[in-house]
Amino acid sequence: MRTSKVKQIWKKGEIALGTQVKSIDPVHSEVLSQMDFDFLWYDLEHTDKSLETFANLARASRIGFADVLARPGRSEYMRMGRLLEAGAHGIMYPRCESAEEASEVVRWSKFHPLGERGFDGGSADNNYGQYPADNYTEEANENTWIMAQIESPTALENVQGIAETEGIDCIFFGPGDYSALSGRAGDVKGKETLAAADKVARSALEAGKIFGTLVFDIDHAQYMKNLGAQLLIHGADIIFYKNAYQELLDAYSTIKC
């Protein structure tokens, strides 16, 4: 399988930067994959993307060099294997609440001896049967990366155990859900939310894992870098699309009068 760009970046102690792709038009994935993003994130938790749609987007993403990160819904363990078979390098598992749940994620997303992921050597993940089974499973375990999301006060209490779970590569703090579940919806950069991010970062680093999170501007990104973040996600195509057209409308507002 393809070598993970993100894991190579982590080995060098650098930061992997990605963005969310909401569009289901493969052209957008093809364009973004050939830019300097380290990974593209496809969310199947909150959107209406099907597995078939995702497979087409992942195929378009392989035109370039960016890793593909996919998020299933919580407890969709079997779906994680199918997302990996379709070409995902990374799995972002949402609302991970305990070390036991993190262990289940590893069980279904890693091959033996790390887990019990089912084998299909003829998928996109193995370039449709290009490599022998033993080489493929070993390479897949090496080049896939698994993120557990900390998104609730309960998860924050259990973050150390989650971070220490073997097979989890990255602990990802989700400020949106965390602030909402803490009764402060939208307070993604508030004092309490930043304190939670700090705890997640310290737990991840103490366990020898990567710390990652969403960031909303360059100052916020620098703050997270200072906490030790090595994976950052900023923005989404639909937001940039909307903002660009709003700038156009603002620029032409005087001409229309």
Question: Which pLDDT tens digit goes with each residue over 95-124?
Answer: 999 999 999 999 999 999 999 999 888 888
Say if residue 23's pLDDT is above 90.
yes
* Structure confidence at residue 131 as a pLDDT band (50, 70, 90): confident
Mean pLDDT for the stretch of residues 243-250: 95
Mean pLDDT for the stretch of residues 230-246: 96
Give me the domain span that covers residue 68. Answer: 5-256
| Short-list 20, 26, 108, 122, CA closest to 70 | 20
Mean pLDDT for the stretch of residues 72-84: 94
CA atoms of 169 and 39, how far apart (whole Å): 15
Question: Which pLDDT tens digit goes with each residue over 38-68?
Answer: 999 999 999 889 999 999 999 999 999 999 9
What was the pLDDT predicted at 254?
A: 87
Is the sign of the CA dihedral 41, 108, 102, 13 positive or negative?
A: negative
Q: Is residue 181 within 8 Å of residue 151, measured between CB atoms?
A: yes
Query: How many domains does the structure of the chain reveal?
Result: 1
CA atoms of 124 and 34, how far apart (whole Å): 19
Say if residue 34's pLDDT is above 90.
yes
Q: Is residue 32 within 8 Å of residue 58, measured between CB atoms?
A: no
What was the pLDDT predicted at 81?
A: 93
User: What pTM was computed for the model?
Assistant: 0.94
* Structure confidence at residue 20 as a pLDDT band (50, 70, 90): very high
**Average pLDDT taken over every residue of the chain:** 95
| CATH number for position 168 | 3.20.20.60
Place of tokens 């195929």: 59
